[in-house]
């Protein structure tokens, strides 16, 4: 990672978040938002390639070095959206751009749709809207979520005797990543415990959603986005074979780019990060 990266802490009224800071003080303001169970190292390759931008790459609440939410609190998408807004307020950024990967891209769209006056541009990597659920399945999904919440105290995080074992596990996890990417994420995501190492992330992050937006909700948020949007789709990623994503974007003046690589193409290798940077550098600098 570049020596120009600075570790910062953001003491919000309701939680303390950690972040990596890149770029000059007078650069265009950008908040970078990582995916589920990742951390700020998600942008370790990409952010240094984006020149002239003031990038704050957050650890979302419950991830990386950020604090976990209080007992009884949730990790819902709109809670993350509020966190992002609170960070912007603390930084004094009235208008800013969002660089989001996966879940971070979803949070970006929700915030841009809800408060279009605050968002300058959206640069999204293999993410757009959350998994949806229709009304007829809502009671069942809520029941499953409540049962999972009751069962959570009896579960234990995996403990890896060596960091290498954790890296191997992350390589095969949801949104499989390269060895180098897994090592970067593990570098920030692991902590020592008796017997070895485990992930810093809050176990509550693995709970199923108690309520999902419907397809109509998701489409409404995309339609509400008023700023320029550039979406990078990974050919081997999670959205490549989802025709619904294309339908959501039909008739909208948004850029869509397809690049070779997996869901973490911006982190897996230098070639992927360079290709994504070539698209986002002129877009975010405009």
**Catalytic residue status for 178:** no
End-to-end, the C-alpha distance of the chain in Å comes to: 26
What lies within 8 Å, CB to CB, of 234 at 6+ separation is 125, 126, 240, 258, 259, 260, 261, 262, 263, 265
Annotated active-site residue in 42, 66, 97, 102: 102
Whole-number CA gyration radius for the chain? 18
Q: Which of 127, 66, 75, 130 is nearest to 101 (CA)?
A: 127
Sign of CA dihedral 65, 67, 71, 72: negative
* Tokens of residue 122, six digits: 């959206």
Q: By the 8 A CB rule, do 227 and 30 touch?
A: no
| Residues with Cβ within 8 Å of residue 45, at least 6 apart in sequence | 184, 266, 267, 269, 270, 272, 273
CA dist., res. 147 & res. 132, Å (int): 20
Tokens of 123: 């640069």
CA distance 158 to 160: 6
- Token pair of 2 as six digits: 């570049």
Question: What is the set of active-site residues?
Answer: 102
């Amino acid at each position: 990672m570049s020596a120009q990266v600075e570790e910062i802490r953001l003491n919000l009224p309701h939680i303390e978040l950690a972040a990596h800071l890149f770029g000059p003080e007078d650069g265009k303001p950008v908040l970078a938002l990582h995916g589920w169970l990742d951390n700020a190292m998600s942008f370790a390759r990409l952010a240094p390639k984006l020149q002239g931008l003031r990038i704050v790459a957050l650890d979302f609440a419950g991830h990386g070095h950020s604090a976990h939410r209080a007992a009884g609190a949730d990790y819902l998408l709109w809670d993350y959206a509020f966190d992002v807004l609170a960070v912007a307020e603390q930084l004094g950024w009235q208008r800013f751009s969002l660089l989001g990967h996966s879940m971070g891209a979803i949070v970006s769209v929700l915030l841009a749709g809800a408060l279009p006056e605050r968002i300058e541009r959206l640069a999204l990597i293999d993410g757009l809207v959350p998994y949806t659920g229709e009304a007829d399945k809502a009671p069942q999904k809520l029941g499953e979520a409540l049962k999972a919440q009751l069962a959570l105290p009896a579960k234990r995080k995996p403990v890896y005797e060596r960091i290498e074992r954790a890296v191997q596990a992350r390589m095969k996890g949801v949104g499989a990543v390269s060895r180098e990417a897994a090592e970067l994420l593990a570098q920030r995501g692991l902590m020592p415990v008796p017997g070895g190492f485990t992930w810093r992330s809050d176990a509550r992050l693995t709970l199923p959603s108690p309520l999902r937006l419907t397809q109509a909700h998701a489409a409404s948020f995309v339609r509400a986005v008023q700023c320029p949007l550039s979406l990078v789709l990974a050919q081997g990623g999670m959205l490549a074979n989802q025709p619904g994503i294309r339908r959501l974007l039909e008739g909208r003046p948004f850029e869509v780019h397809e690049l070779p690589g997996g869901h973490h193409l911006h982190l897996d290798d230098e070639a992927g990060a360079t290709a994504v940077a070539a698209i986002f550098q002129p877009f975010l600098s405009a």
